[in-house]
Structure 1
Amino acid sequence: MSTELNIAELTFVLEDFTRMHIRLPQAQRLSFTTLSVLHTLAGHGPMRLTELTASEQVTQPAITQIVTNLEREGLVERRPDPSDGRAVLVHVTEAGAAIVSGRRAERVAHLTALAEGLTPEERAAIAVAVPALARLVELNRSGS
């Protein structure tokens, strides 16, 4: 087994893993983009619509519609931006945060069961890789 990092192979594996991971929770009554907005707000705090448009890579009308629908369902709320009275910040509500934490708990349970099928060496390799993957995420955030 090579210890050289093959970025193309990493990309393919991460794409497959991401597709699997996104689809793990079974209760799927919201679209992927809508769920992504909830996860973004739960993880990064309140944001302006323009920031959500950029982070979710959708159009301004699309994010406005998503936020309006989430607001109607009681999963987010708009509040005035304390630093600019003309702007609003979108906040995740307790109900929205509960969806995010419930999805995470489902993923943890499913991945725990899958990890039982790995060898101790494979589990150790993943454990060693986690900090490096977290650092890649951090580098991406600081670069954008």
Structure 2
Amino acid sequence: MPDELDVDRLAMVVEDFNTIFIRLPSVRRYNFSTLSVLHTLGRNGPLRLTDLLPTEQLKQPALTALVARLEEDGLIQRRPDPNDGRATLLSLTRAGKQIVRSRHAERVKKLSRLVDQLTPEERAVLADSVHVLTRLTEIAADTT
């Protein structure tokens, strides 16, 4: 049946694409955990450290150390949580935002070069898939 979705094949294709996609930017190199924290704060921040734990797949001591390094490097800042004086919120500094923006711009540029090599039909299928991928991301976020 041609309409059936092979989820195993889909998972493999997504994994392969992600392997290529995360390496597209050739901007200043950072390790995966650093970039993940920066991108999470860029999309969802400001956040408490405890809010980062589920998304970053690090134990609290490792995440605490990473956040301290990012703060030392001037990429994130801490400020009091206006809703809870005992807690602090983490957010990107101007330099942190610039890293996230430049990585995104570089990805767009390099991904555009790849997309340009697709046929018009393939580009149309890809354009239609954006909605579906967005929806899958929303469903995943609602289940966590």
Give the TM-score normalised by structure 2.
0.96
Structure 1: gaps spanning 5 or more residues: none
Report what 1:53 is aligned to.
Answer: 53
Answer yes or no: is 1:127 the counterpart of 2:132: no
Report what 1:42 is aligned to.
Answer: 42
Report what 1:3 is aligned to.
Answer: 3
Query: 5 Å matches for 1:82-121?
Result: 82-121=82-121
Q: Which string of whole-angstrom CA distances, capped at 9 and with x for unpartnered residues, describes residues 29-54 of structure 1?
A: 31111000000000001111111111
Deviation at 1:25, TM superposition (A): 0.8
1:26 aligned counterpart, secondary structure: coil
Letter matched to residue 12 of structure 1: M
Letter matched to residue 48 of structure 2: R
CA distance in 1 between counterparts of 2:111 and 2:4 reads 26
Structure 2: gaps spanning 5 or more residues: none
Q: Which of structure 1's runs of 4+ aligned residues deviate more than 6 A?
A: none
CA distance in 2 between counterparts of 1:29 and 1:114 reads 22
Higher relative contact order (CA 8 A, sep 6+): 2
CA distance in 2 between counterparts of 1:27 and 1:68 reads 23
Identity among equivalent positions (%) equals 51
Deviation at 1:122, TM superposition (A): 0.6
Report what 1:23 is aligned to.
Answer: 23
CA RMSD across the alignment: 1.2
Q: Which string of whole-angstrom CA distances, capped at 9 and with x for unpartnered residues, describes residues 62-96 of structure 1?
A: 11111111111111001111111111111111110
CA distance in 1 between counterparts of 2:131 and 2:112 reads 18
Any conservation in 1 of the 2:48–2:88 contact (CA below 8 Å)? yes
Any conservation in 1 of the 2:48–2:87 contact (CA below 8 Å)? yes
Report what 1:69 is aligned to.
Answer: 69
Deviation at 1:101, TM superposition (A): 0.7
CA distance in 2 between counterparts of 1:55 and 1:115 reads 29
